[in-house]
Amino acid sequence: MFNKWYKYSYAAQKQQRSRILMILLWLVGICVLYTLIATFLFSIWTIQTDSMNPGLESGDRLMVFSYKFYHLLPESAKSPFSRGQVVMIDTAYREKKNIFLEICDFAVRFFTAQRISILNQRDDLFMKRVIGLPGDEISMTDFVIRIKPAGASYSFTEFELTSESSAIYETIPPKISPLWTDSLPFSGNMAPVVLAEDEYFVLSDDRGNTNDSRTWGPVEEDSITGRVVFRFWPFNRFGRI
């Protein structure tokens, strides 16, 4: 009797529709909240390559603090970036963005646990380590990076200047053929480069991966869209980056 009432009663059907509508509104609300948080606070990303080995590996899941809001602050605001930080670089930041597609992409990534993206933005996003700040002079000899800070009389290695923990800051110099010339990043040598006012020098920890400032050149501040702050997967390497 109760089942028949539930099936044919207008009140019961209205109650069921209200429940479904409430669930949908909750899902939409959660998705909107996640989109706002991912845009202005932090987002979750999975590393797809081994370019940051040995500290970060393919498959690691990371929390990335967003710096998109920072570029809206006055030019007098202090830069939030420092040597040793792992940051996210958007190499297509100058291209016009489709806001609607970006919102849809946030939603798809949210409901698929970051496994599916409707945009090919992963091809434009790279996680690299900040080595040089504006005004620094950067050079490399036998894969050893030396930095002469603006106004300094001497140069130092990247490890001497970084303020970050060295727990995951370990580089891998590649094995190269002696036939490589100094004109190639694989050679391990680079002539001094002086960074402009809004430029940063970023590198892979695996120095055999040259998809970084050795091939792009310095990156502009606007192209740095976030900083990696936390690794939550796998659990045996859970902790701050």
- Look at residue 134 in the predicted model and tell me its pLDDT: 92
Residue bearing the bigger pLDDT, 130 or 75: 130
pLDDT tens-digit map of 118-140:
665 556 788 999 999 999 999 98
The predicted pLDDT at position 120 comes to: 56
Give per-residue pLDDT as tens, 174-223: 777 666 666 666 677 888 999 998 899 999 988 887 789 988 889 998 88
pLDDT in tens, 17-72: 778 888 888 877 777 776 667 666 787 888 888 888 888 888 898 888 887 666 55
Between CA 207 and CA 81, with CA 231 as vertex, the angle to 5 degrees is 60
Q: Give 85-107 pLDDT, tens digit per residue.
A: 999 998 776 665 666 666 677 66
Whole-number pLDDT of residue 184: 66
In whole angstroms, what is the distance from residue 227 CA to residue 204 CA? Answer: 15
pTM: 0.74
Q: Would you state the pLDDT for residue 219?
A: 93
| Residue of 209, 228, 207 lying closest to 67 (CA atoms) | 228
CB atoms within 10 A of CB 179: 6
Q: What is the pLDDT of residue 77?
A: 55
Predicted pLDDT at 226: 87
Helix (H) or strand (E) holding 202: strand 199-203
- CB-CB contact of 59 with 94 (8 Å): no
SS3 of the chain:
CHHHHHHHCHHHHHHHHHHHHHHHHHHHHHHHHHHHHHHHCEEEEECCCCCCCCCCCCCCEEEEEECCHHHHCCCCCCCCCCCCCEEEEECCCCCCCCHHHHHHHHHHHHHCCCCCCCCCHHHCEEEEEEEECCCCEEEEECCEEEEECCCCCCCEEHHHHCCCCCCCCCCECCCCCCCCCCCCHHHCCEEEEECCCCEEEEECCECCCCCCHHHHCCEEHHHEEEEEEEEEECHHHCEEC
In the chain, domain spans = 66-94+124-232
CATH architecture group of domain 66-94+124-232: Ribbon (2.10)
**What's the pLDDT score for residue 175?**
75
**What's the pLDDT at 7?**
56
The reported pLDDT for the residue numbered 43 is 79
